[in-house]
Amino acid sequence: MGRPTTYKPEYCEKVKAYMSQGYSKEATASEIGIHRATLYKWANKFPEFGDAIKRAEGLSLLFWEKLGINGIIHGGSSFR
């Protein structure tokens, strides 16, 4: 028998919250205090967590695209 999991359903919301700020999956794992390998294991073991990760990837992409578009339209110096 392995160790009991430290997974909690509330991690689904935490993943979405962090990644909606542009964090990667790996950075999000660090933010919730787990190793990135654990994040991937949980995504495979807990369907609701895997779904949260997939949705959060879209939120992260949306964050970066909005930032880029805003920089182009408003001439942000970091995009020149």
pLDDT at position 56 is 97
Report d(CA 51, CA 57) in Å as an integer. Answer: 10
- CA 14 to CA 18: how far, in whole Å? 6
In tens digits, the chain (80 residues) has pLDDT values of 667 889 999 999 999 999 999 999 999 999 999 999 999 999 999 999 999 999 999 999 999 999 999 888 887 655 44
Residue type, 63: F
Closest C-alpha to 15, from 45, 69, 7, 4: 7
For position 62, what pLDDT does the model report?
96
Q: What ranges do the domains of the chain cover?
A: 11-75
